[in-house]
Amino acid sequence: MNFHWGPFSPMKVLVADKISSKGVEYLRQQPGLAVIEAYGSSPEKILSLVGDVQAIVVRSETKITAEVFAAAPRLKVVGRAGVGVDNVDVEAATERGVIVMNTPSGNTIATAELTFTHILCGARPVPQAAASMRAGKWDRKNHAGIELFRKTLGVVGLGRIGGEVAKRAQAFGMRVVAYDPYLAPSRAKAMQVEAMSLDELLAASDYITVHMPLTDSTRHMIDEAALAKCRPGVRIFNCARGGIIKESALIEAVKSGHVAAAGLDVYEDEPLPEDSELRQLDAVTLTPHLGASTAEAQESVGIEIAEQVADVLKGGVIRNAVNMPSLDAATLRTLGPYLDLGEKLGTLVQQMGPKQIDLLHITYWGKIVDLDANSVTRAIQRGFLRHISGDSVNYVNAPLALQRLGVKVQVVKSTDEVDYTELIAVEAVAPDGSRHAAQGTLIGRTGKPRIIGLNGREVEVEAQGKLLVIENHDEPGMIGYVGSLLGKDRVNIANMSLSRQEPGQTALMVINLDSEPSPAARRELKSHPAIKLAKFVQI
């Protein structure tokens, strides 16, 4: 990644969404940069502007799609002044070698404070009372509230923002309970919160606030079934991501009185449609995605993203990248294959093991021992967290995110002889002592990642795409049974690796698939008496 930096060839930075004026001014002051401000541009206008730009800065309004990347051949970096990158096609960026960066910590306090504002408005109907006063009324009876003191707040997702909300609740004398399937008990104890299952939290809480990323597993986490498990009169809040709470279910629960009050800053569709029934419910306080909308947060993220973008264009350090580590370009070229392998091993181990672990043990052999293994360790941690923390995790904040979950990381650089020029082993250790491990190496001149070990068994499969891992009693006909079942499900097998330790004991199949098996096929696999484990993973 070699860029020329000089007054005779200015690099263009398109600021597509309004960020802090100090951030824009910082970019203007950098030698060799030309700043184009194009706030509120239509998608067509953005496409007409990106043909010769090297950097784009956005907040959450402008969408940087695959079409935009295709129209921007000189683009080197996209900077998002905020936490998520929902409006950036990261996969398309990665394919074209474009760095995507965000500012993961700049709005933590702002979002936590807005969440608590919603909680307070759920307890004391201040917005409704203020509207009544503006209408010329003096209605004390219909605007009575309840206290937070000695009530129970359930925090779903105890990351950075959830942790800050918990602190504020404790200051109000609230009992705080939390559900986070990846949070170690020791971490919960240190934060003075009670860890429990989601069902237990729903039943125990007077107030519930969600702070999870939006993933396949968290979408509509709070739906009709979840709300039915809540105590009557519960109050629910979402300042995290739209879609975690199923809006249609919430509307019905508020109308029936089962949910006494709710507060939302994020929605399944944004902007919130004018005809949304949420707008008609007096017990629901709505704000237009204001989580990061404080002067301090906007100034912080605006300056931060400007500095990060300028650093990349100058060929300097890469910070807070969501699709590559914080490295200079020369080091990145050398470490790239190792980073790819490490991230995939981390993702594989996380999906194979239990949700809660105490320790992530990483061992390196061969050439990687003499390189910057710290960056590879961060790639493994990011891969491990990919299906847990979503877009908010990157190579910079992954270690801290694991620490918040109470997961320790141990790294060993081994000089023992192994059968491979380079080898990486990742092992997750659960609280009950069970271990779940994967080993990988690089093959060929291009350094293609390969999985060569899984839970102590030798395998050899390509480290990409969709994998079906099956552990079964070693008996005749199992390969045919699995192949027939997948064929009936219209799932094509791309490759298969078989492993066993002793005839008639336990055998292992690792199968590369072209598509995901249906839920019915998975249930049928798991119901077979000889199959001990059938796990679909995606890396």
Exposed/middle/buried for 400, CB within 10 Å: 0-12, 13-18, 19+?
middle
pLDDT class for 399, splitting at 50, 70, 90? confident
Q: Catalytic residue at 241?
A: yes
The segment(s) of the chain belonging to CATH 3.30.1330.90 are: 325-436
* Per-residue model confidence (pLDDT) at position 392: 64
pLDDT value at 517 more than 50: yes
Query: How many CA atoms lie less than 13 Å away from 12 in the CB half-sphere?
Result: 14
Residue from 124, 219, 220, 289 carrying the catalytic annotation: 289
Average pLDDT over residues 34-38: 97
Told to judge if 522 belongs to the known catalytic residues of this protein, a careful annotator would answer no
Residue type, position 68, single letter? V
Least confident of 75-79, 216-220, 223-227, 414-418: 414-418
Residue range 208-256, pLDDT digits in tens: 999 998 888 899 999 999 999 999 999 999 999 999 999 999 999 999 9
> Distance between CA 386 and CA 316 in Å, rounded?
26
pLDDT for res 539: 87
Q: What CATH topology corresponds to 465-539?
A: Alpha-Beta Plaits (3.30.70)
Q: Is the pLDDT of residue 5 over 50?
A: no
What confidence tens digit (pLDDT) does each residue in 160-218 have?
899 999 999 999 999 999 999 888 888 888 899 999 999 999 999 999 999 998 888 89
Question: What rounded mean pLDDT belongs to the chain?
Answer: 91
CA angle, residues 80, 209, 165, in degrees to nearest 5: 70
Angle between the N-to-C axes of helices 108-123 and 295-313, in degrees from 0 to 180, rounded to the nearest 10: 150
Using CA of residue 58, residue 161, residue 396, residue 363, what is the dihedral sign? negative
289 is catalytic: yes
> 480 near 491, Cβ under 8 Å?
no
Select which of 80, 118, 187, 241 is catalytic: 241
Asked if pLDDT for residue 436 goes beyond 80, the answer is yes
Of 3.20.20.70, 3.40.50.2300, 3.40.50.300, 3.30.1330.90, which CATH number belongs to 325-436? 3.30.1330.90
The whole-number pLDDT of residue 494 equals 93
Predicted pLDDT of residue 391: 64
H helical segments located in 124-184:
126-134, 160-171
Q: Are 207 and 149 in contact (CB under 8 A)?
A: no
Q: Give residue 411's pLDDT.
A: 95
On the question of pLDDT at 2 being above 50, the answer is no
Rounded to an integer, what is the distance from CA 324 to the centroid of its chain?
15
pLDDT digits (tens, 9 = 90+) for 265-275: 999 999 999 99
* CATH 3.30.70.260 boundaries in the chain: 465-539
Query: Does 327 have pLDDT greater than 90?
Result: no
- The rounded distance, in Å, linking the Cα atoms of 373 and 379 is 10
Contact present, 32 and 5 (Cβ < 8 Å): yes
Average pLDDT over residues 15-40: 96
Residue type, 225: A
CATH of 108-286, one of 3.40.50.720, 3.40.50.300, 1.20.58.100, 3.90.1150.10: 3.40.50.720
**Per-residue pLDDT tens for 52-70?**
999 999 998 999 999 999 9
pLDDT of residue 82: 87
Asked whether 292 and 298 are in contact (CB, 8 A), the reply is yes
On the question of pLDDT at 325 being above 80, the answer is no
Q: pLDDT band for position 1 (50/70/90)?
A: very low
**Selected residue with higher pLDDT from 133 and 93:** 133
Pick from 431, 416, 527: which is nearest to 481 by CA?
527
How much is the average pLDDT of 499-523? 90
Give me 443's structure tokens: 């093959």
Neighbours of 281 (CB within 10 A): 17
pLDDT, residue 216, reads 82
CATH number for the domain running over 1-105+293-323:
3.40.50.720
Residues ≥6 apart with Cβ < 8 Å to 481? 528
- State the pLDDT at residue 8: 55
| CATH 3.40.50.720 segments of the chain | 1-105+293-323, 108-286
Point out the catalytic residue in the list 270, 296, 475, 523: 270
Residues in the chain: 539
**What pLDDT is stored for residue 368 in this prediction?**
85
pLDDT at 44 over 70: yes
The residue among 106 and 240 whose pLDDT is bigger is 240
What is the pLDDT, as a whole number, of residue 315?
77
pLDDT exceeds cutoff 50 at 4 = no
Phi, psi of 310 (to 5 degrees): -60, -40
- CB-neighbour burial class of residue 502 (10 A; exposed 0-12, middle 13-18, buried 19+): exposed
